[in-house]
């Protein structure tokens, strides 16, 4: 019988994961984090105590059975681990790479209280990558029903919703405005963090489930959501168009040549492959010195892309301090290793003109932290008289986004005061049969939250269509009655006396 | 894995107006049904291509086609001129993008098209005519040999004025001369719609400003996605910043900061030159290969 694991008997150090050398990787777009080997994964799986509390499961936005899949890895049953993972999260190779685990599962891990937490994200990625390599796919027999479902947007929310509805037997079509599916995964997250090959492999898996992808389709303009539920015959629609409309600083010089949003830089580089110009036609702005305003994941991506595009100096300009930076810890760490210079507590006040309509430099003011604001973070206040100028050739704004306006312009979907789609707690919108989730509802958030929203909307859509969900695992406790979700509300309550 | 586009965006008609301007009619029944005057598409010629915005010059809901009139200026438009024949396909075409032009209840309008702007102003002129307005069409070309669609305009305009730089057709002068002529004759013009190069639209806005006539223009900044997510097409309208792809492309000409637009249009001039040189070099190399192949003793 195996000896019971305690905090003292497990490997004390977290298994390191090989990463590309910073000096080398700053010149190419190869994936930086190399992933675990099978030996690494076994050792790291050992470190999970399989504790009774399971805080990691509640820490996960979609409630993956984390101890379950880690135990399977330990038993060398990788296929079993994949089955457990995919019963809740369909895209483990993606989430393992981009989830902010330190704020989710790993942040509450029991082992993490005294040692470094179990590297749950790396283990998830290991299983996901193995599945891609081995070509595993779990397609149970699916009884097709007569329901036609439309998904607007092929980003993480749309993909997750599509998978669930396809597994339920619906005829699912995903509409995407770009010429390639993937949404923010494709255009926003660079190859060195999330390779396009991984995204395409996961999309192919969805195709095997029968999901159809129609690209070059701008829903709202080519046809409206009303037309979808009307003459086009869709029985239910999910809107996951994202919140990509970038925010500009609104300071003088915003429109000078050489100022662009992070979205534009990343779309040119990642989706349009401008890094390979002129083999690919889309140009990208080249610059010796780049300043990126912001410290979220998008800002980190913009900085690390700029380094790889050949910038000699890349600055991060952020008005708060390092502690308040919203980016994933690993991204800040990687950016530092690759040579980004961080200027915390610094806020731009103007972009300086070179007299020919292009950027010459930037004027900033130093900040200090005052009392906390609504978000709970300490509010930055300018230090009077601390303005200074410095020279740059390119300025990238990564300070947040707003709702994409096209849905609001072209449909009667009710929006909230900030322009996002208004939904109830089941993600239903003001139009019958139309559901929405992801950034277009919540504002800019993470990939896993978008996927969680896609899955939640799928549950609501199945309830709306009257579909019994035979694939959803029994959620224990009082949540379901013989597998029937009490919140479905399409059966009469029976009191047990 | 290569993504196959929804339909094959097949070209069903091609017409060359000059050695730089050409027309392509592309099959897209859904888009033909949805398109309205003032909207545009974003097109990719092939997988390596860039995304370029092109105004929808016309749409035929029965035939299920969209018409694009293109000027061969940069690498992509020149390559399209060379490669797009009847039966060939575009890699991607998405639209109709932009807010449709508000065909207002104006009773008397001047529809102004300069150079390439002549094509997209046509559906607007037709739209106003169908709405019952009195339409004065003013079109400008460099010289007589570049004039196209004269008959189409005469069919939907109550008055039609051609302006040429050298006076070889119509009146000699820029379209602003045509506008002045129309305003002088009609004191009751409700609205002017002007489409063409930014400098021309600026000139039209300046011409109508003293007469306080509402002037709508269609802006053509550099674009990437066309769906409002990159901000590359941002323009200054009054004291606000708008995205031409989702807030426009039509704006009030008297509020547009044309100098800012023209400055921002130049931001990739260096790269555009590199792309053109690179492509012309590969064309020369291809031609040399073809010539050598023809002359080869192995050629049957």
In angstroms, what separates the C-alpha of B1 from chain A's closest C-alpha? 6
- The pLDDT value recorded for residue A218 is 96
| Torsion sign across C-alpha atoms B232, B237, B239, B245 | negative
Tell me which DSSP letter residue A248 carries.
Answer: P
The beta-carbon neighbor of B230 closest among A215, A217, A246 is A246
- The pLDDT value recorded for residue A476 is 40
In angstroms, what separates the C-alpha of A490 from chain B's closest C-alpha? 38
Cite the DSSP H helix spans in A145-252. Answer: 156-167, 184-187, 196-208, 225-229
Cite the DSSP H helix spans in A215-351. Answer: 225-229, 262-266, 297-308, 329-337
- The pLDDT value recorded for residue B295 is 82
In angstroms, what separates the C-alpha of B132 from chain A's closest C-alpha? 26
Chains A, B: CB pairs < 8 Å: 145
Contact A383, A365 (CB under 8 A): yes
- A236-239: strand order across its sheet: A212-214, A171-175, A148-152, A236-239, A434-436
Q: What is the ipTM of this complex?
A: 0.90
A153 vs B106, residue with greater confidence: A153
- Alpha-carbon span A453 to A441, nearest angstrom: 9
- The pLDDT value recorded for residue B221 is 94
Calculate what percentage of chain B has a pLDDT beyond 90.
78
The beta-carbon neighbor of A267 closest among B30, B76, B225 is B225
Long-range contacts of B264-271 (CB under 8 A, 24+ apart): B264/A255, B264/A257, B264/A357, B264/B221, B264/B222, B264/B235, B265/B198, B265/B220, B265/B221, B265/B222, B266/A257, B266/A357, B267/A257, B267/A258, B267/A285, B267/A358, B267/B222, B268/A283, B268/A285, B268/B222, B271/A277, B271/A283
User: What number is the average pLDDT over the span B24-38?
Assistant: 95
- The pLDDT value recorded for residue A477 is 41
The count of other CB atoms within 10 Å of the CB of residue A352 is 18
With an 8 Å Cβ cutoff, are A217 and B6 in contact? yes
Instruction: Give the side-chain half-sphere CA count within 13 A for A456.
Output: 21
With an 8 Å Cβ cutoff, are B229 and A267 in contact? yes
- Alpha-carbon span B139 to A433, nearest angstrom: 49
With an 8 Å Cβ cutoff, are B96 and A204 in contact? no
Contact A209, A203 (CB under 8 A): no
- Alpha-carbon span A491 to A489, nearest angstrom: 6
Long-range contacts of B279-287 (CB under 8 A, 24+ apart): B279/A278, B279/B75, B279/B78, B279/B79, B283/B82
- Alpha-carbon span A218 to A241, nearest angstrom: 10
| Torsion sign across C-alpha atoms A409, A413, A416, A421 | negative
Confidence of residue B3 (pLDDT cuts 50, 70, 90): very low
Interface test with B, best of A132, A174, A177, A179 (most B CBs within 10 A): A179
Helix/strand number for chain B, H first, E second: 8, 15
- The pLDDT value recorded for residue B31 is 96
- The pLDDT value recorded for residue A104 is 87
| pLDDT value at B20 more than 80 | yes
B146 vs B93, residue with greater confidence: B93
Residue A489 CB-density burial (10 A; 0-12 exposed, 13-18 middle, 19+ buried):
exposed
Contact A491, A485 (CB under 8 A): no
Rounded to whole angstroms, what are the CA distances from A250 to A245, A298, A349, B40?
14, 19, 9, 28
Contact A431, A423 (CB under 8 A): no
In angstroms, what separates the C-alpha of B257 from chain A's closest C-alpha? 11
Question: Is the overall model pTM greater than 0.80, yes or no?
Answer: yes
Tell me which DSSP letter residue A5 carries.
Answer: P
Q: What is the pLDDT of residues B244-288, one digit of tens each?
A: 999 989 999 999 999 999 999 998 988 899 989 988 998 899 889
Q: Which residues of A touch B3 (CB under 8 A)?
A: 179-181, 213, 215
Residue ranges, chain A, pLDDT below 50: 1, 473-478
Cα A106 to chain center, whole Å?
17
A474 vs B121, residue with greater confidence: B121
Residues B188, B191, B192, CA angle at the centre, nearest 5°?
115
Q: Which residues of A touch B31 (CB under 8 A)?
A: 222
- Alpha-carbon span A102 to A190, nearest angstrom: 21
Chain A residue at shortest CA distance from B36:
A221
- The pLDDT value recorded for residue A2 is 58
């Amino acid at each position: 019988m195996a000896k019971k694991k305690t905090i003292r008997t497990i490997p004390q150090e977290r298994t390191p994961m090989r990463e590309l050398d910073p000096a080398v990787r700053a010149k190419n777009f190869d994936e930086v984090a190399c992933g675990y080997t099978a030996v690494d994964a076994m050792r790291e799986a050992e470190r999970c105590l399989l504790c009774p509390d399971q805080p990691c499961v509640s820490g996960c936005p979609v409630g993956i059975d984390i101890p379950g899949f880690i135990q399977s890895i330990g038993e060398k049953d990788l296929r079993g681990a994949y089955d457990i993972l995919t019963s809740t999260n369909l895209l483990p190779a993606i989430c393992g790479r981009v989830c902010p685990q330190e704020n989710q599962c790993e942040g509450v891990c029991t082992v993490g209280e005294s040692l470094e937490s179990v590297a749950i994200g790396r283990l998830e990625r290991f299983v996901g990558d193995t599945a891609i390599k081995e070509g595993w796919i779990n397609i149970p027999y699916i009884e097709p029903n007569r329901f036609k479902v439309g998904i607007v947007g092929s980003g993480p929310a749309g993909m997750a919703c599509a998978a669930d509805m396809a597994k339920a037997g619906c005829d699912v079509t995903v509409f995407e405005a770009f010429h390639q599916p993937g949404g923010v995964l494709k255009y926003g997250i660079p190859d060195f963090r999330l390779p396009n090959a991984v995204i395409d492999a996961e999309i192919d898996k969805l195709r095997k489930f029968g999901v159809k992808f129609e690209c070059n389709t701008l829903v709202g303009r080519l046809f409206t959501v009303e037309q979808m539920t009307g003459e086009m015959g869709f029985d239910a629609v999910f809107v996951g168009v994202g919140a990509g409309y970038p925010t500009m600083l609104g300071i003088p010089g915003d429109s000078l040549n050489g100022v662009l949003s992070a979205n534009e830089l990343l779309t040119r580089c990642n989706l349009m492959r401008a890094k390979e110009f002129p083999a690919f036609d889309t140009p990208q702005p080249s610059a010796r010195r780049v300043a990126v305003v912001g410290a979220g994941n998008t800002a980190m991506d913009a900085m690390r892309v700029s380094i790889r595009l050949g910038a000699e100096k890349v600055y991060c300009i952020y008005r708060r301090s390092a502690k308040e930076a919203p980016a994933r810890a690993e991204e800040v760490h990687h950016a530092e290793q690759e040579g980004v210079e961080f200027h915390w507590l610094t806020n731009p006040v103007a972009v300086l003109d070179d007299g020919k309509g292009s950027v010459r430099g930037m004027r900033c003011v130093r900040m200090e932290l005052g009392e906390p604001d609504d978000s709970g973070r300490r509010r930055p206040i300018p230090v009077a008289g601390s303005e200074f100028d410095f020279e740059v050739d390119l300025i990238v704004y990564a300070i947040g986004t707003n709702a994409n306006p096209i849905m609001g312009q072209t449909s009667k979907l009710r929006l909230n005061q900030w322009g996002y789609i208004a939904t109830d707690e089941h993600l239903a919108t003001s139009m019958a049969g139309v559901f929405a989730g992801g950034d277009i509802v919540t504002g800019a958030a993470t990939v896993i939250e978008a996927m969680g929203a896609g899955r939640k909307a799928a549950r609501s859509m199945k309830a709306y269509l009257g579909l019994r969900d035979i694939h959803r695992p029994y959620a224990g406790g009082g949540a379901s009655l013989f597998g029937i979700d009490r919140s479905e509300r399409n059966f009469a309550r029976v009191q047990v006396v | 894995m290569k993504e196959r586009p929804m339909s094959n965006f097949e070209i069903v008609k091609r017409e060359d107006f000059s050695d730089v301007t050409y027309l392509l009619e592309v099959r897209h029944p859904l888009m033909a049904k949805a398109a309205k005057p003032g909207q545009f598409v974003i097109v990719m010629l092939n997988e390596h291509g860039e995304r370029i915005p092109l105004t929808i010059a016309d749409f035929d809901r029965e035939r299920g086609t969209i018409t694009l009139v293109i000027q061969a200026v940069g690498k992509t438009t020149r390559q399209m001129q060379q490669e797009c024949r009847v039966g060939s396909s575009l890699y991607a075409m998405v639209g109709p993008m932009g807010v449709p032009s508000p065909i207002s209840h104006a009773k008397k309008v001047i529809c102004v098209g300069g150079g390439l702007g002549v094509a997209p102003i046509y559906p607007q002129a037709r739209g106003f005519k169908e709405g019952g307005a009195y339409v004065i069409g003013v079109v400008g070309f460099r010289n007589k040999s570049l004039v196209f669609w004269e008959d189409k305009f005469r069919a939907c305009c109550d008055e039609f004025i051609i302006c040429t730089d050298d006076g070889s057709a119509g009146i000699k002068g820029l379209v602003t001369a045509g506008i002045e002529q129309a305003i002088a004759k009609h004191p009751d013009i409700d609205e002017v719609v002007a489409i063409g190069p930014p400098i021309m639209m600026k000139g039209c806005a300046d011409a109508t400003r003293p007469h306080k006539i509402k002037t709508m223009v269609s802006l053509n900044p550099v674009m990437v996605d066309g769906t409002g997510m990159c901000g590359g097409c941002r323009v200054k309208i009054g004291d606000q910043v708008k995205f031409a792809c989702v807030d426009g492309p039509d704006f009030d000409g008297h509020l547009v900061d044309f100098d800012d637009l023209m400055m921002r249009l130049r931001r990739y001039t260096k790269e555009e030159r590199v792309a053109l040189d690179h492509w012309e070099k590969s064309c020369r190399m291809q031609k040399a290969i073809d010539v050598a192949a023809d002359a080869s003793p192995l050629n049957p």
